[in-house]
Structure 1
Amino acid sequence: MNKQTFFFTGCFPYEGGEHFIENEIPYWNSNSENEVTIFPLKANGKKRDYPKEIKVDTLLTKKITVKQKLKGLVLGVFSKYLFREIYTLIKQKKINYKNVVTVVKVTAKGIILSNLLEDKIDEGKSNYIYCYWNNELAIAGVILKDRKKNIKVFTRCHRYDLYEEHHELKYIPFKRQFANKYDKWFVICESAKNYLTEKYGVKNENIALSRLGVEVHDNLSSISNNNCLNIVSVSYCVPVKQVDKIIKAISDFSSSNPEITIRWTHIGGGELMNSLQDLAFKLFEGKNIKSIFLGNVSNNKVNEFFLKNKVDVFINASASEGVPVSIMEAMEFGIPVIAPNVGGISELLELDSCILLPEKITEKDICNAIFSIYKSCKDIDKREACKTKINNEYNAQTNFKSFIENFK
């Protein structure tokens, strides 16, 4: 029997994020045996590259009508899913007005999306649903699976769609109720696997470690001259990324080491970009520091930057992460990394070339780390060790080919 695979994304292949899918999508095949269709929730901006055999359906990007909303709300309020989730809230001692309202909204949204998608299910085929995020689309997938017999639902989970403590309400709907409804959870680090089991009760046999990956290149980034230090960071300019701490740490390091010429490049835009530029201008004034904000650039452009520029060290200061692809990309070019012990970062930095900071970091922690790594980050053996780590464990060709075997 032929099959079709629905690939649920937030916006890919359109602009707006999910740059890490750019590394995975080339390994997907759409053919007579398996027709692959991407269903994004948003479709703003230009399309990025993806295999021409893969279809893109913008069904879910269309505005939901008032009639559809009312139908979803009514069906949601009287659904078994809502009552079970209310019971879960009571059991978890998280029952309150905000959480109940959230459950009602998420239940209605899951039902609306499942209603929209139901006509896409081919009764004569095996239907695989692949949810890149464990969000409302994953919930819709499980609801569809309850209605139809020929559906399997697979979900990845990363950071915000996994860790409850990073949510304002300290609660994510349907994690426990649907814990073992998915045919497989794919996690990107061992710590996430443990979290799913301990926090939500997902069975071990329903979880598979499927690391993300980056393309392997032949060359390393070049290093700067003596008494120079080129630092790079890559992240959205949003509060959780704590880019301000990087700025303050670089400023403090320069104050103690005025003889060192520093160039700091930040890649990534966002709501705080202008205020961060102002902070850098203020703190770097009169010091031997040059700051460059490149804004949002494509995944390929990030790799191109690492290849064509001198980069000595990479810094991540985020308060919450999964396993950052930006760190993988830096290490693949032999760039040592300074980063906090959040998410799966510790699994990336299991070598002497890099510095793993505490989970809750200060600018002083980052400053001290820069001082510690200043000379060793240019050592060729340490840079080669970074590259070897990524090539052995986070190679896109190996990891994504293995992952996609699950859909054959």
Structure 2
Amino acid sequence: MLSQIKYAAQQYGDVFYVTRDLVNDNSKACDVKNLTVVQAGCARRGMGGIQAAGGALLHGGARCFLSALHKQRINPTFIRTQLKYEAGSYLLYRAALPLISRLGQDNCTVLSAWFMSEAYAAYLLKRRFPGIQTVSFAHSFEVQKFRDSDLDLRHIIERHSGIDKILFISRTVLEQYKNEYMLPLGLSTANTGVYYLGSEPNQREEKGYSKDGVFRLVSCSGISQVKRLNLLIEALSEIDNVHAGRLSWTHIGSGPDEDEIKQFAQSRLQHLDFHFVGYMPNKLVHRYYEEHPCDLFINVSSMEGLPVSLMESISYGIPAIATNVGGTGEVVIDGLTGLLLPPNPTPEEVRNALVRFMDMPLSERKLFASNCKRIWSERFNASKNASSLYGFLRTSNVPED
């Protein structure tokens, strides 16, 4: 949310960031003069925090009990899920009430970063202050969360109807939500649209492909089962010695499976050069792309929303190979900005795509790089997209999809 706070502050006189958890919150790193961070409920110390927490439990407990009776599901898991959702929403709602009362509802836009309890808090505020404008971003994991959780569908209906515009991070996620919830529940599609969060602009204009005969492959992600680095290692292990001799793979990122993946790579990739450089803050990832030649980005994840790592890589003119999951195909356009793999490719399919890129004439690789820069500029320039969004919000006209 840091970049969105920065862009919103350029269009609005005052920005208030309401959060339940300052311990894990990084808004303080955002150097915005007209930003005020507001602690919600239990995050506040003293009697105010106790009263807010008590009110949240009372509000949430009553609603949870009614939901349980309605669904005839009085069990601990259902009650716990409902209570956490209701109480969390109420804490945000209570923290925002005095702000809107002071500023005036006709002057306020409430933007929810997530289409979960935060958006439900916006719904509660909309009931109290009909004149406010409510907007919510919606990510892929929320749609998955709805499907797998014990949340009452009533929450989805209320949240959907109480938000003036729901902005999905990709067309794929919007279509998934539409098919799974809007159509079956009879919800209106008029208040939904697509908004690409994008990635930050960079200054490097020249193409960063290698000029020393080495083909440099880079990946950037956490190291966990869903990222399937074991699949990538299997594919790299099948590359013949001629191609392997001029290939160097660098992975940026860390995670719970790091030790296991490193050991697996050491046992299978003795014939090629590879490096695990560990976790890097986003600024250092950008610096890496600025200072190091990169010929190809690869992502073989089994699940994605709209990967920021891919948007960042194409902004530097780095084409990509990626699995066609989530909204990945909106960034990696097959044959234009890279090569799209099936959602569950074999190691052989990954290897063949990689070798195909390695064998491309430089002129063709330059064309891919040029396409990457163009598609990023047209779709995924965070600064340009945000300027359009917040400009429209200030005039109370959310841009149409």
Relative to the length of structure 2, the TM-score reads 0.82
The answer to whether residue 247 in structure 2 is matched with residue 262 in structure 1 is yes
Determine the C-alpha separation between the residues in 2 that align with 1:225 and 1:274.
33
- Per-residue CA deviations over 1:345-403 (Å, capped at 9, x if unaligned) read 11112241411111233433322221222233852112111111111221223211111
Bigger drift between 345-354 and 56-65 goes to: 56-65
Secondary structure at the counterpart of residue 157 of structure 2: coil
Alpha carbons of structure 1 residues 61 and 406: separation in structure 2 relative to 1, 3 Å: farther
Q: Using the TM superposition, give the Cα deviation of residue 282 of structure 1 relative to its aligned residue in structure 2, in angstroms.
A: 2.7
Q: Using the TM superposition, give the Cα deviation of residue 153 of structure 1 relative to its aligned residue in structure 2, in angstroms.
A: 2.0
Residue in 2 that maps onto 1:9: none
Higher helix share: 2
Alpha carbons of structure 1 residues 371 and 151: separation in structure 2 relative to 1, 3 Å: same
Secondary structure at the counterpart of residue 137 of structure 2: strand
Look up the equivalent residue of 2:37 and give its one-letter code. V
Secondary structure at the counterpart of residue 302 of structure 1: helix
The answer to whether residue 203 in structure 2 is matched with residue 217 in structure 1 is yes
Determine the C-alpha separation between the residues in 2 that align with 1:83 and 1:100.
10
Q: Does the 8 A contact of 1:321 with 1:345 survive in 2?
A: yes
Residue in 2 that maps onto 1:333: 316
- Per-residue CA deviations over 1:173-211 (Å, capped at 9, x if unaligned) read 822342221111011222222223222224221012211
Within the candidate set 187, 203, 212, 2:188 is matched to 203
Look up the equivalent residue of 2:349 and give its one-letter code. D
Within the candidate set 55, 59, 65, 1:75 is matched to 59
Residue in 1 that maps onto 2:381: 395
Residue in 2 that maps onto 1:308: 291
Q: Using the TM superposition, give the Cα deviation of residue 339 of structure 1 relative to its aligned residue in structure 2, in angstroms.
A: 0.9
- Per-residue CA deviations over 1:251-273 (Å, capped at 9, x if unaligned) read 232x5646533222222233233
The answer to whether residue 115 in structure 2 is matched with residue 129 in structure 1 is no
**1:249-288 alignment to 2 at 5 Å?**
249-253=235-239, 255=240, 257=242, 259-284=244-269, 286-288=270-272
Residue in 2 that maps onto 1:175: 156
Q: Does the 8 A contact of 1:164 with 1:171 survive in 2?
A: no
Secondary structure at the counterpart of residue 57 of structure 1: strand
Secondary structure at the counterpart of residue 102 of structure 1: helix
Look up the equivalent residue of 2:198 and give its one-letter code. G
Residue in 1 that maps onto 2:36: 55
Residue in 2 that maps onto 1:29: 9
> How many positions carry a matched residue from both structures?
379
Residue in 2 that maps onto 1:295: 279
Q: Does the 8 A contact of 2:42 with 2:53 survive in 1?
A: no
The answer to whether residue 305 in structure 2 is matched with residue 319 in structure 1 is no
Look up the equivalent residue of 1:388 and give its one-letter code. R
Look up the equivalent residue of 1:401 and give its one-letter code. S
Q: Using the TM superposition, give the Cα deviation of residue 109 of structure 1 relative to its aligned residue in structure 2, in angstroms.
A: 2.3
- Per-residue CA deviations over 1:187-246 (Å, capped at 9, x if unaligned) read 122222222322222422101221122315342442224753211111122332223322
Within the candidate set 166, 188, 209, 1:185 is matched to 166
Residue in 2 that maps onto 1:8: none
- Per-residue CA deviations over 1:139-175 (Å, capped at 9, x if unaligned) read 2221232233343321101121223487466988822
Look up the equivalent residue of 1:132 and give its one-letter code. A
The answer to whether residue 92 in structure 2 is matched with residue 113 in structure 1 is yes
Q: Using the TM superposition, give the Cα deviation of residue 331 of structure 1 relative to its aligned residue in structure 2, in angstroms.
A: 0.9
Percent identical: 21
Residue in 2 that maps onto 1:240: 226
Residue in 1 that maps onto 2:217: 231
Determine the C-alpha separation between the residues in 2 that align with 1:144 and 1:34.
21
Q: Does the 8 A contact of 1:123 with 1:150 survive in 2?
A: no
The answer to whether residue 353 in structure 2 is matched with residue 369 in structure 1 is yes
- Aligned alpha-carbon RMSD (Å): 3.1
Alpha carbons of structure 1 residues 185 and 121: separation in structure 2 relative to 1, 3 Å: same
Relative to the length of structure 1, the TM-score reads 0.81
Q: Does the 8 A contact of 2:207 with 2:369 survive in 1?
A: no
Look up the equivalent residue of 1:338 and give its one-letter code. I
Secondary structure at the counterpart of residue 190 of structure 2: helix
Q: Using the TM superposition, give the Cα deviation of residue 334 of structure 1 relative to its aligned residue in structure 2, in angstroms.
A: 1.3
Residue in 2 that maps onto 1:7: none
Unaligned stretches of 5+ in structure 1? 1-11, 13-20
Q: Using the TM superposition, give the Cα deviation of residue 69 of structure 1 relative to its aligned residue in structure 2, in angstroms.
A: 4.3
Determine the C-alpha separation between the residues in 1 that align with 2:361 and 2:18.
42
Determine the C-alpha separation between the residues in 2 that align with 1:165 and 1:370.
36
Look up the equivalent residue of 1:28 and give its one-letter code. A
Determine the C-alpha separation between the residues in 2 that align with 1:120 and 1:167.
35
Determine the C-alpha separation between the residues in 1 that align with 2:52 and 2:232.
46
Look up the equivalent residue of 1:39 and give its one-letter code. V
The answer to whether residue 367 in structure 2 is matched with residue 381 in structure 1 is yes
